[in-house]
Amino acid sequence: MAIFCLTWIFTLSLSLILLPVSTSAQYHYSSIEAMKSLPPLQANMLSQLETLVAKMRDDLAVINATRQTLKTIKLKPMKNKIDMFIYLNKLVTFRKHVKSKYKLSLDANELPTAADVDGNLFSLIVLQSTYNLDINELVRGYIRTQNGLHHTKLDLLNQLMILTTYYDVHESHVHPIEALHETSLTVNVQNYTQQELVIIGGMYKAISKKLITKHRGYVLKLFHKIITHFTGNNEDENNKAFINIFLNINNELIEHNLEDILISNNEGTNHPAWELKKPTSKWNPYKDNPHVEISLDKYRHYSKLCQGEHLSTSKRPLTCYFSTQDNVYYLLRPFKIEQLCLDPLVLVFREFADDNEIQMMIQAGRRQGLMKSWIGQEGKAYDSILRVSHNTWLDPLAPELEGFARRVVSALPLADEAEAIQINNYGTGGLYTVHLDNFYQKGNPNLSDDRLATFMLYLSDVDSGGATVFPRLNLTFFPQRGSAIFWHNLYSNLSTDYRTLHAGCPVVLGDKWVANKWYSSRGQLFHYPCKGNETVVGLDEVKRVFSHY
C-alpha cells in the first residue's frame, strides 16, 4: 500500500511539473466556471480546421486541375519543328510551375529546360533560312515543302516566341511581318493569365526594338490599332492589362523619338509594312561561329544544294551498273552502283540493305542508348549548333550487323580495318553542317591512322530535307532507305582531300537515321596503294577552283 501511494504521488508530481506554466493560463479542471469558457474555444478551433480543410480542398482541386492539364500535354507524332516547339514549351513551362509551387523533386538532367526551347526555336529559324521558308507562313504555323503545306495551330504567345527568335538572329536582315498584324487584332486575351500578358508585352517590346527605324513606326501604328481595338471593353481586367502594356511600350518608344507612324516607300506613298520590298540580304547562322568559317555566299550555295537545285558541273559521263565485285556469291544479287562523281570518287549503292537488317540496326542503336552528338575528337569534343543529332556506336561483330558487315567488305576493295559502326538519328531540325570526316585535316607529322573512306547507309527515308551535300562538288543526294553513299576522304598518299567537304542538311519533316562505317587508312597498302602520278589538290587550289566554297 505504501509503495502504491508513493507511485501515485510521484506520477501526480510529474504531471504538475509538465503542466505549462503561465500567469494567464486557466486550469479548467479545477473549476466548473472555467469549463464554461471551453465551447467557444472549441468552436473557434473547429472553424479554423474547417477553413484549413476548405483551403486544402481548393489546393487539391488546383493540384488535380494541374494534374489533368499535364495529362493533356501529350507527345503527338512530331511531324515538324513547330510541333516539337509547342510540346517542349508546354512541358518546360509546366515544369517550372509545378516545381516552384509544389516543391516536386524533378530530375533536371532528364526533363527538358528552357535551353531546349531556345535551341528548338533557333533550329526553326535555321530551317527558315536554309529552305527560304516564308516567315509569315511560319509564324502562322505553316511549313511549305515539296509535298505540300503542313499546318500546326499556334497561339499569340507561341507566335511571338518564334518572331522574337527570328529578330534576335536576323539582326538588321529582317523581313516585314504580316502575321504579327493579323494575329494581334484577333487575339482573345481571356485565354491568357495576367503573367502571360506581361510576357507577351515584353516580347512586343523586344520585337519593336529589333525592327529598323521605319518599321518601328509601323509597330507604333500597330500598337495604336491594338489599343483602340481592346478599349471597347474597359470593364474586363485582362483587356485593361493588355491595353496598359501597349500604352507603356508605346510611350517608351515615343520618348526615344520613334513617333513616325506612317511608312513611306521610295515613291512617297504610304503602305503597310508587309508591302515593302523584302531585303535581298540573307542571314547566315554560322557567320560568328569560331569553329567554322562560312561566308554569306557560301551559305547561299549550301542552301541551294540543300533545296535540291541541280548545280552539278561534271564534264565526264557518269554511269550506273551492276557489279559482283568478282564474288560469285553476288551473281544473283549484284550490287547496284551509281556514279555521282569520278574525281574524287563518290558512289551510291542502291538497295544495299533490306528492311529487316535496317530495323535490327535501328533497334540495336536504341538499346545501346543514343546520346547527344558532339564535334571533335575524344578529350577535345564540344557541343555545337553545327551538329544537331544523337548517336551511338555498335560493335560490327554484333549479330544484327553480321549481314551488313559482310556485304560492305565484299562491296569495297578495301581491307576491313574500321571503327565501330556509328548509328545517327537526326530528328526534325537535325543537321551536321559542312565538315570533313577525317581527323588530321591540317596534316600531322605523327600520323599513323586516319579515316580513309566513308560508307554511309541510310536507314530511313525523310519526308523533306536531310540531303547529303558536297558543296565543292555541287552534289546533292537525298536519303533513300536502304541505299548507301561512299567516298574517299584521303588521297592515296593519305593527305586530306578537301574536295570531299560535305554536310547533312537540316531535316524539315520526318526523321533521319544513318549508319556510318569509316575505313581506317591502316592496313590498306595493297588495297589502296600510293599512286606516284596522283595529282593532289591542296586546300589553296581547292579554294581557287571552287570559288563558291
For Cα atoms 25, 27, 29, give the angle at the middle one, nearest 5 degrees.
Answer: 160
In the prediction, which pLDDT does 478 show?
96
- The total of other beta-carbon atoms located within 10 Å of residue 188's CB is 9
pLDDT of amino acid 545: 41
Contact 501, 121 (CB under 8 A): no
| 485 secondary structure, DSSP code | E
pTM of the model: 0.75
- Position 495 scores a pLDDT of 81
- The partner residues of 148 in beta bridges, in order of sequence, read 145
pLDDT of 361? 93
pLDDT of 377 reads: 62
Report the pLDDT value the prediction gives residue 420, as an integer from 0 to 100. 86
Rounded (5°) CA angle 108-110-114: 60
**Which pLDDT does position 295 carry in this prediction?**
58
**Would you write out the chain's pLDDT as a tens digit for each of its 549 residues?**
444 444 444 443 444 444 444 445 556 667 777 777 788 888 888 999 999 999 888 888 877 877 777 777 777 777 788 888 888 888 887 777 776 666 666 665 677 888 888 888 888 888 888 898 888 888 888 888 877 888 888 888 888 888 888 877 765 445 556 666 677 777 777 777 777 777 777 787 777 776 655 566 666 666 777 777 777 655 677 777 777 777 777 777 665 544 333 333 333 333 333 333 333 344 455 554 444 445 556 778 888 999 988 766 666 788 999 998 888 888 888 999 999 999 889 999 999 999 999 999 999 999 989 888 877 665 566 666 778 889 999 988 888 888 888 888 888 877 677 678 999 999 888 999 888 888 775 555 455 677 888 999 999 999 999 999 999 899 999 999 999 999 988 887 778 888 899 999 999 998 999 999 988 776 666 556 566 555 555 555 544 444 444
Where is 102: in which H helix or E strand? helix 81-102
Q: Give pLDDT, residue 187.
A: 72
Contact 246, 227 (CB under 8 A): yes
Q: Rounded to the nearest 10 degrees, how much is the dihedral formed by the CA atoms of 542, 501, 354, 515?
A: 150
Cα separation, 389 vs 386, in Å, equals 10
Give the pairing of strands 468-470 and 431-435: unpaired
What secondary structure, in 3-state letters, does 362-422 show?
A: HHHHHHHCCEECCECCCCCCECCCCEECEEEEECCCCHHHHHHHHHHHHHCCCCCCECCEE
Partner residues linked to 456 by β-bridges: 485, 516
Question: How far apart, in whole angstroms, are the C-alpha atoms of residue 141 and residue 150?
Answer: 8
pLDDT of residue 512: 95
Q: Is 74 exposed, middle or buried (0-12, 13-18, 19+ CB in 10 A)?
A: exposed
